Amino acid sequence: MNILIVHAHPEPKSFTSSLKNTAKEKLEKQGHYVEISDLYEMNFNPVASQLDFESLNQTDYFNYALEQRHAQKNQTLAQDIQIEIDKVKRADLVIFSFPLYWTSVPAILKGWIDRVFVAGLFYGGKRFYNHGGMTGKKAILCLTLGGREHMFGDKSIHGYIETYLSSIQRGSLAYVGFEVLPPFIAYHVPYIKDEDRMNIMENFEDYLNNIDQLTPLEFPKLENFDEKLNPL
């Protein structure tokens, strides 16, 4: 299996980075090919702009999604975007490695999604969810956060962690067709003892060893909706 890890943490010695390194090591030992996009190390530009296109199709009014569609069709996307698209195309599984920032991904990773998930290839028209451009590929979130596990769930202070991840897992990954597997979440990481971090790492290794047995999360299927996307 070809695996792409998209990693977004500014500190190479962080626990999040250690999870990324462990994933690469363990998955390669299993015989998989692993490629990494370390966004901070790459100094990846997260800002979507007119500079993402060699030329504009509409010069009087800038519509980013329409320009993406035109540039993708005519192979005139900026080189840094095309390089990342090619990595995703090669991948059977994409792992997103990041710390949770304000209930979402770091800005540099959000910008990667904005610029790389181009209209006309990843989605467009009714090409979304189980008909999206990434149908047949899998995706996983591997994230760390400061809160304790008991702070998330029914009647917990922060509510369900799935609520925080929905914009990523459903609104981005499932929307463009990825089969989304259950996330790996490391809680309270900045404040725990090394022994506890070791336990998390052992659990992560078990998780990686059993990726093929994970049951995908459920998201809408277009067949359950009519032509106007009303539920049947």
Task: Give the pLDDT of residue 99.
Answer: 98
List phi, psi (to 5°) of 128. -150, 170
**CA separation for the pair 109, 8 (Å, rounded):** 6
Q: Is residue 66 part of a domain?
A: yes
**Alpha-carbon distances of 63 from 56, 107, 112, 155, rounded to whole Å:** 10, 21, 18, 42
Whether 108 and 43 have beta carbons less than 8 Å apart is answered as no
Task: Give the pLDDT of residue 73.
Answer: 95
Residue type, 144: T
Q: Which domain holds residue 109?
A: 2-224
Q: Is residue 231 part of a domain?
A: no
Task: Give the pLDDT of residue 140.
Answer: 98
Q: Is residue 155 part of a domain?
A: yes
**Bridge partner residues of 42 (DSSP):** none
Task: Give the pLDDT of residue 87.
Answer: 98
Give pLDDT < 50 ranges for the chain. Answer: none
Task: Give the pLDDT of residue 143.
Answer: 98
Whether 130 and 178 have beta carbons less than 8 Å apart is answered as no
Q: Is residue 229 part of a domain?
A: no
Give the total number of structural domains in the chain: 1
**CA separation for the pair 22, 36 (Å, rounded):** 12
Q: Is residue 11 part of a domain?
A: yes
Instruction: Find the CATH number of the domain harbouring 54.
Output: 3.40.50.360
Query: In the block, which residue shows the tokens 């690469």?
Result: 24
Count of CB atoms situated within 10 Å of the CB of 153: 13
Whether 187 and 145 have beta carbons less than 8 Å apart is answered as yes
The per-residue pLDDT for range 76-114, each reduced to its tens digit, is 999 999 999 999 999 999 999 999 999 999 999 999 999
Q: Is residue 232 part of a domain?
A: no
Task: Give the pLDDT of residue 225.
Answer: 95
Task: Give the pLDDT of residue 168.
Answer: 97
Task: Give the pLDDT of residue 67.
Answer: 97
Tokens representing 64? 């980013």
Q: Is residue 88 part of a domain?
A: yes
